[in-house]
Amino acid sequence: MQTKSARLPREKRQPTKIINMKRCSEQLHKQSQTVKLKKSEQADLRERLVSYMEYHPLPASMKSAPVSNTKKASGAELFTDSFAHFAIPYQALFKFGSVAAVFVLLVVPFMAERTVPGDTLYAVKVQFNEEVRSSLTWGSYEKVEWETERLNRRIAEARLLADEGLLTDEVEASVAAAVKEHSDNAKREIEVLRETDADEAAIATIAFDSSVQVQAQALQHSTDAASTTTKTGGLISDALDQSLEKPVSDEIATVPAYGKLMARVEMNTTRIGELRDSLVAIVSPQGLADVNRRIQDIDRAVLAAIELQQTAETELAAREALVDVLTRTQKLIIFMTDLEVREQVTIESVVPVVPTIDEIELDRSKRSQQLQDAIDDLEAAISSDEVSADVQAKLEITGEKLEAAQTTLAGIKDYKTFVAQSNDVLALAADALLLIKNDGVIIPAVPVDKATTTSQTSTSTGVVGSNKSTSSESMVNQEI
Amino acid sequence: MAGEQSTENLSGHEARFLAAYDEYNDALFRHACMRISDREKAIDLVHDTYTKVWSYVRKGYEIEQFRPFLYKVLNNLIIDTYRKKKESSLDALLDIEGVDEGSFDELSESSAEALAATIDGRKAFELMDEIPDVYKEVLIMRFVDGLGPKEMSELTEEKENVISVRIHRGLKLLRQKIEAQDEFADEKRKATARKKAADKNN
């Protein structure tokens, strides 16, 4: 009973609710129907609308066309004039924005790295790429290295343009200005470094000067080669010379501490080893042998410096030896890393070979023998009837001079002095023998070639010296 | 009448358009008038609605069903009117009200009907102006224009759930207003009765 009585009211209530709801909707609807346009308002509105239609008629093509031929209108195309809705495609914008950002931040700088003055993206290279890297470089020594690198880049660009005949006066002036700017920046950083660490400053100066010297040397060679047709690179050479003339080089007088020098030398030799490995597949066997020879020289010099450092008396000499080694390693790195430099100058002119003791002895004896041979040939010519009296007189004087020089050379201990003086003497002997040859006497063994070859920068024998192959006869006459 | 064109002279597009005017002008006017509570402005809005639709027709679009299209245009114009009228935009209003997912009751259609059953339709009509337009809009569409949830969703570009929540909350608001009005009237009546009793005793 209870269940029945409890269910009944609910069953009864349910239809009442529906009726109420319907009544509510109906009442609301009924009330709203009282809101309507008057007939006159409806007619006015229609009239306004028809007028509008008359002033804005359908296109002629639509009047005749059936309704089904028209485009489908959708809600998405509806908008009002006052508040036009513009959908901003954030997702697409983000995607394209990402692509654009990648293009601007990665692709453009990468492409700009290969540009030279006059290219569209060159400004990106100099004013964005390099400036960003500058601002990311910490430490004065690293800043000096970077400014040196920038200087090298400017010169490399100038050389590239010069090779293509595009190095105009304007571009050359701008490159020279850039070289000066980077040089000044490097020196400024060196001064900053000197206030905190004089040894590091001295090492940075050595590295900077070595680099500039190599570049100046390569540029000079390039300028000399181009001078027959066009005069290029003068301003840049001047800028490089100026940077070398500045008092920064004076600071080398303060020889850095042994430990710091050795550390830097070790870093450089490690770098050279890596560079050598990377060049194996690129350079010729002879080129690789030349590099290996310089590495051996450097290793030997380092060992010598270590030995010198053992005693207090020779400690300064050890440091000076290491400064020399550091300079050579620095120059060798520039030579190995800069393709343009490799093409312009020989490795011998950048890092001359340092002969071993055996090589020195061999070269000394060889030169002495060449001189002796020349003296013998002269004596033979003097006693010969085929030589004119005038030439014989000249030869006698030359022979005496050569004999005197032979005695002097025998007493010279320093190898470099010996090489320098023997070069002069051998050149004199060669000229004298050439004089005999010109006079009609055939000399079987002419030591001219030998002397010239030996005195040349022969890397295989390891002889150091400058070749003074001047005009033969005039020299002999001068000497006489 | 200058504008009266005989159907023979009209193209198919013009005839369909004028037929749509004759059929829906009153409903559109009612909707606009109840939304903005300004008769003259409502007439202008209806006029603007039809001229805009005519512009679409002239551009070569075919309007398959005029009713939802007309309501859509009118709704946009009403929103524009609101935005022009007050600084606080509809969006700001929505932000204040908070359009959340709604509770189960608010999402239920039967719940809305049950709620509507407790409301006096006449009073609800009178108090319609006192609730925010965001609720008024859906209540008018539902109870005056007789639109279904799907149509309302397309017109307002809101999800059907959001529409249901708004209807439910709008009805609740209306009921609160009606109850408050009833209480006020009751108090007034009691006060009048007390006064009359006091006068009689005196």
Q: What is the pTM of this model?
A: 0.46
Average pLDDT on A341-355 reads 81
Domain boundary among A299, A329, A350: A350
pLDDT of B50 reads 94
Given a cut of 50, whether residue B79 has pLDDT beyond it is yes
Mean pLDDT confidence for A345-374: 86
d(CA A222, CA A212): 15
For residue B46, list chain A residues with Cβ-Cβ distance below 8 A: 45
In this predicted structure, what is the pLDDT of residue A194? 85
Residues A370 and A269 occupy one common structural domain: no
Q: Quick one: average pLDDT of B26-53?
A: 91
Asked whether residue A58 is assigned to any structural domain, the reply reads no
Same structural domain for residues A468 and A387?
A: yes
Shared domain for A314 and A393, answered yes or no, is no
List CB contacts (< 8 A) between B29 and chain A.
35-37
Q: Which residues of A touch B117 (CB under 8 A)?
A: 17-18, 20-21, 24
**E strand or H helix at A454:** helix A447-455
Q: What pLDDT, in 10s, does the model give residues A430-470?
A: 888 888 777 665 555 444 444 443 334 333 333 333 333 33
Is residue A172 included in any domain, yes or no?
no
- A376 inside domain: yes
Nearest CA in chain A to B38: A35
Residues A367 and A223 in one domain: no
Whether residue A259 lies inside any domain: the answer is yes
A165 lies in a domain? no
Residue A184 shares a structural domain with residue A322:
yes
> Quick one: what percent of chain A has pLDDT higher than 90?
2
> In this model, does residue B30 exceed pLDDT 60?
yes
| Cross-chain CB nearest to B62 (options A30, A71, A79) | A71
Residue B51 has pLDDT above 90, yes or no: yes
Question: Are residues A459 and A420 part of one domain?
Answer: yes
pLDDT computed for residue A440 by the predictor: 61
As for how many domains chain A has, the answer is: 2
**Smallest Cβ distance to A82: which of B25, B33, B80?**
B80
A271 shares its domain with A204: yes
- Choosing from A350, A375, A408, the residue where a domain stops is A350
Are the beta carbons of A31 and B83 separated by less than 8 Å? no
For residue A91, tell me if it sits in a domain. no
Which one, of B49, B118, B137, B68, lies nearest residue A17 by Cα? B118
User: From the CA atom positions of chain A, what is the Rg in Å?
Assistant: 45
Quick check: A52 and B16 CB within 8 A? no
**Residue A72 pairs with which residues in a beta bridge?**
B62
- Are A416 and A446 members of one domain? yes
Alpha-carbon gap, residue A208 to A306, rounded angstroms? 25
Q: Do A140 and A195 contact (CB within 8 A), yes or no?
A: no
Last residue of a domain, one of A314, A335, A350: A350
Are A289 and A233 in the same domain?
A: yes
Same structural domain, A364 and A269: no
User: Domains along chain B?
Assistant: 12-85 (1.10.1740.10), 94-201 (1.10.10.10)
Q: Which of chain B's residues have a Cβ under 8 Å away from the Cβ of A76?
A: none
User: Residue A139: left if φ>0, alpha if ψ -120 to 50, beta else—which one?
Assistant: left
Examine the domain organization and report whether A306 and A275 are in the same domain. Answer: yes
Same domain, A324 and A206: yes
Residue with more model confidence, B12 or B136: B136
Residue A346 forms part of a structural domain: yes
A115 within some domain: no
Q: Which domain holds residue A187?
A: 179-350
